[in-house]
A = this chain, B = another copy of it.
Amino acid sequence: MLTLYDNLDSGNGYKVRLLLSLLGQPYRWVELDLERGETRTPQFLAKNPNGRVPVLELEDGSCLAESDAILWYLAEGTPFVPEDRLARAQVLQWMFFEQYSHEPYVATSRYILRHLPPDHPRRTELPQRLERARAALEVMERHLEWRRWFVADRYTVADIALYANTHVAHEASLDLEPWPKVRAWLERVAGEPRHVPLTTRPG
């Protein structure tokens, strides 16, 4: 059976939990406490030298890190990754956009606001991170202006990757009111069969 090393509050981990639910794939779930350093132990660093969740452990003990690489691994050969060569690369384009231009701003702002005390020095990062978060949401809004899904006119891992942290943007103090296409797309994702919310503890 697959094992997912994860943290319930992680948007990156939620991507994998959501896809596993959509695929109806059973798995073992191991929650790590980031604040207690459980991703920095020698045992965990042997699974991911970069010391981050999520990590997917396969039945033979091989480990795979990076949420969007895990999505690709699980979804290749299913309807969640298109077969067309350009569409596949476009899915990856939006996943790299997510990791480079979205996650460090939306998800990191959410982390700072939820997990660090009000007088923590990292609070000074918020104005710049939130400005870039708004720029990422603006890029998404323009792309969705005449599209229902990010790529190939259907629900793919690109949508899953972007949904995970966008749907909790309010917890990063971002009001999605200026981006109606993004809001309609969030509802579309949440309305898909076998959808599970971020806070659903697996198993």
Contacts and interface: CB of A to CB of B under 8 A. Distances in A.
Interface residues of A, number: 32
A68 interface: yes
Contact of A86 (B73, B89, B99): B73
30 contacts: A49-B139, A50-B97, A58-B86, A65-B93, A66-B93, A66-B96, A66-B97, A66-B100, A67-B96, A68-B92, A69-B89, A69-B90, A69-B92, A69-B93, A69-B95, A69-B96, A72-B88, A72-B89, A72-B92, A73-B85, A73-B89, A73-B92, A76-B89, A95-B96, A96-B99, A99-B99, A99-B100, A100-B100, A100-B104, A104-B104
User: In the assembly, how many copies of this chain are there?
Assistant: 2
Nearest to A91: B69
A62 to B, nearest CB: 6
